[in-house]
Amino acid sequence: MLKVVGCFTQEHDFTLVAAAAFVCLLGSGLSVRLFVRTLFAREGRRLVHLILTGTIGGATIWATHFIAMLAYDPVVDHAYEPVMTIASLLVAMVGVTLAFAIAAAARGGLRIEFGGVVFGLTIATMHYTGMSAFQIPGVIIWDQALSTASVLLGAALGALTFNRIGRPVSRYCRAGATFSMVLAICIMHFTGMGAITLALDPTISVPPKAISDVFLSALVLIVVTMFLLTGFAAFLIEARVQDEAKKQFTHATLHDTLTNLPNRLYLVRKLEEYAEILPTSRVAVITLDLDGFKEINDLYGHAAGDALLACIASRLNGALAPDEFVARTGGDEFVAIKANYRHIREVDAFAQQLRTRVLEPVPIENTELNVGVSLGIASAPEHGDDLLEIQQKSDLAMHRAKSDPYCQIHHFTPGMDQQNRERLALVTDLRVALERDEFEVHYQLQNDIATRAPVGFEALLRWNHPTRGRVSPDQFIPIAEQTGLIRDIGLWVLRTTCFEAASWEAPYRMAVNVAPQQLLQPSFAEYVSDILIESRLAPERLELEITEASIIDDQENTLRVMHRIKAMGVRIAMDDFGTGYSSLATLQAFPFDKIKIDRSFISGIHTDPQRAAIVRSTLLLGTALGIPVLAEGVETEEELTFLQKESCAEAQGFYFGRPMALADLYEITHRKPPSLTLVREANSNG
Ligand code: C2E
Ligand code: MG
Ligand code: MG
């Protein structure tokens, strides 16, 4: 005889139903989160993520189902067949993994939703496999329509869940997906449960080896604990990986890649940090700039330059005490901070230490490289309380140290600020000096030493500033070079002097100084050629003076330009010989027509044996290479006599005359004052 038991709603323990819903919500949330990570995981980690997500997703469905089953009281004796109970867990895990794998591999189309359908069908398969394990003293009668509806609802809600994960339109979509997954699991389950009617049959008994409710509770507890632990472990690992990546990123943005020292951004942050302890504590900023680094780069190559920087950086960073800090802020510029000191002497000692570390020779490729360093110090609160300004002030002090041959560590003084302002004012004025016609060229004689007769002139630029009066070229030429203005100014000088020389009766040579930047102009050779054609000056009468700095900048290009200029017939002299980094090597490699020995070697040459030796060897070198030598800065008869005895070819200096204005020139060059309008016209044409 069959007794029918129905209506699932009246036979559920709602506390356990709530527990099922809670586990379902927690597991769904975890699964959705993990699946989103899976979608963004790198190729190698994707599979691990997928399996993890599938396992947790499957366990969620399974645990929800069986907790709900525990909540269900069929009023009759019941139990669960162990094989199908465990099989239903495996079905859930494999099915969900497969569903997520399909969606993760989707590249357009409806594959994401298809993965969702597989997910929904997995819920149903799990449900019916689990139900097949349900043992009662009787049989289960299924309502076909409701069973079918449960499968379809599961599939539809599965598709919706995956659609929300795979095609999010707002940040709430992930929560929507979780909610939809909970609905998929619960609606599928309860619709499925609604489809059953139990027909009791006393001839059928529950097998004794089946799993009891108590045992099932323990099993569910184990599975739930397992998936929760796995989920949270995954989260912890993920969080640590993310944290690590974040740390690496922060490190990269705050450090210099070559030396691994803190970079400028880090320095600014550090200064902001130290600003907090002002004015109760003291903070000093030291700017360091390497001397002669560019030359090392040019002579030994960039790899050697990089290795040198890395070595110096690690030395600077290696022995820092607490409250000391070093950053690399530019090519060969570093900034150090010392805070919380009592006496400025401690800062001096720190600066001295830093300097010693830089000066130690650096062994690179079987040789030892040496660089110098200039340091500037400014401190708060003595020089102000804005640490960014303090840093600029230490930079000014560093520049002062750079131009001081005797002291490489300078402290900031208020006078430096004033000078800096003046320099800026000078830059502003220099920009308009050409337009305002404030430049003038002076000419200094160059004489043959044997006959003492003039052979040419060197053109020397003068700036007649409207308020400051005459500004020395040593002051404004470096500024013109730094600002790039030298290109226009240099061309003006070349044009003016070529027209001038072309108007002379006597065919004296005209020597014109050319700055490194001019030589690197792509059309410099064309400019020279055009000016020669326009002015009708014979090319042999023009001599361009270049210093070693021009050559060091870009050797290949310089050589090319020099050959083009020489091909026109123009001569090229090496200016300030002996003051450069490797004058001898330069002389051998480049086609010079003349060597000009720097005036620092000529002064007192007849009494100073060292200078005499240098000049003698230069003269020998000139003879060996077939290049005539001119001595600069000859001021006395004795110096000239010495040079004559050593067979030096030419001399220039106050002995023969100071640089002179045009009006004084005419006696020697035999020419009436030039028509200024002619020169101006020519200039405006150029
Ligand atoms: P420089 O080319 O080596 O020019 C020689 C400098 O030595 C000139 O200084 C000249 O006045 C000075 N001098 C000549 N004879 C004597 C002497 O017997 N004793 C002493 N104590 N000095 C002497 P100046 O005119 O002040 O020029 C300085 C530097 O400015 C020049 O050195 C050159 O490098 C640069 N300069 C001048 N005019 C130009 C120009 O048109 N273009 C470029 N690029 N640089 C220029
Ligand atoms: Mg010169
Ligand atoms: Mg010179």
Q: State pLDDT tens for residues 118-146.
A: 999 999 999 999 999 998 888 889 999 99
What mean pLDDT comes out for the span 96-108? 88
Kindly report, residue by residue over 657-672, the tens digit of the pLDDT. 999 999 888 888 876 4
In sequence order, the 6+-apart residues with CB closer than 8 A to the CB of 446 are: 454, 455, 456, 457, 458, 509, 511, 630, 650, 651, 652, 656
Between 206 and 189, whose confidence is greater? Answer: 189
Please tell me the predicted confidence (pLDDT) of residue 583. 67
Considering the entire predicted model, what is its pTM?
A: 0.56
Please tell me the predicted confidence (pLDDT) of residue 304. 93
DSSP-assigned states of every residue in 557-589: HHHHHHHHHHHTT-EEEEEEETSSS-HHHHHHH
Between 376 and 194, whose confidence is greater? Answer: 376
Quickly state the pLDDT bin for 4 (edges 50, 70, 90). very low
Question: What's the chain's average pLDDT?
Answer: 89
Ligand 1 probe mutation, 463, 500, 513, most atoms within 8 A of CB: 513
Ligand 1 site residues (CB inside 6 A) read 444, 460-461, 472-474, 477, 490, 493, 513, 515, 545, 575-576, 599, 632-635, 652-654, 659
What mean pLDDT comes out for the span 49-71? 91
Please tell me the predicted confidence (pLDDT) of residue 231. 79
Query: In this structure, what is the dihedral angle of CA atoms 200, 201, 202, 206, given to the nearest 10 degrees?
Result: -80
Residue 270: pLDDT over 50 = yes
Q: How far apart are CA 601 and CA 614, in angstroms?
A: 8
Please tell me the predicted confidence (pLDDT) of residue 431. 93
- CB count in 10 Å sphere of residue 270: 19
Query: Which of these, 682, 599, 679, lies nearest to 643 by C-alpha position?
Result: 599
What mean pLDDT comes out for the span 17-37? 89
Please tell me the predicted confidence (pLDDT) of residue 581. 63
Residue 389: pLDDT over 90 = yes
The Å distance, Cα 612 to ligand 3 centre, comes to 18
For the chain, give the percent of residues with pLDDT over 90: 62
CA distances to 28, 68, 80, 100, 241 from 87, in Å: 21, 18, 12, 20, 35
What mean pLDDT comes out for the span 240-247? 83
Quickly state the pLDDT bin for 553 (edges 50, 70, 90). low
Contact 649, 451 (CB under 8 A): no
User: Which of ligand 1's atoms lies nearest the C-alpha of 634?
Assistant: 18
Please tell me the predicted confidence (pLDDT) of residue 226. 84
Please tell me the predicted confidence (pLDDT) of residue 676. 46
Kindly report, residue by residue over 579-636, the tens digit of the pLDDT. 876 667 778 888 899 999 999 999 999 999 999 999 999 999 899 889 999 999 999 9
Please tell me the predicted confidence (pLDDT) of residue 246. 83
Q: Which residues of 630-639 are buried (b: 16+ CB within 10 A; e: fewer)?
A: bbbbbebeeb
The Å distance, Cα 98 to ligand 2 centre, comes to 82
Kindly report, residue by residue over 521-535, the tens digit of the pLDDT. 889 999 999 999 999
Residue 673: pLDDT over 90 = no
Rg (CA), the chain: 44
What mean pLDDT comes out for the span 73-101? 91
Q: How far apart are CA 277 and CA 275, in angstroms?
A: 6
The Å distance, Cα 576 to ligand 3 centre, comes to 4
Ligand 1 probe mutation, 430, 444, 460, most atoms within 8 A of CB: 460
For the chain, give the percent of residues with pLDDT over 70: 95
In sequence order, the 6+-apart residues with CB closer than 8 A to the CB of 319 are: 353, 357
Kindly report, residue by residue over 298-354, the tens digit of the pLDDT. 888 899 999 999 999 999 998 799 999 999 999 999 999 999 999 999 999 999 999
User: Which of ligand 1's atoms lies nearest the C-alpha of 635?
Assistant: 18
By alpha-carbon position, which residue is closest to atom 19 of ligand 1? 633
The Å distance, Cα 291 to ligand 3 centre, comes to 22
Choose the weakest-confidence range: 19-28, 233-242, 268-277, 584-593. 233-242
Contact 351, 286 (CB under 8 A): yes
By alpha-carbon position, which residue is closest to atom 20 of ligand 1? 633
Quote the DSSP letter at residue 660.
B
Q: How far apart are CA 575 and CA 271, in angstroms?
A: 45
Quote the DSSP letter at residue 8.
G
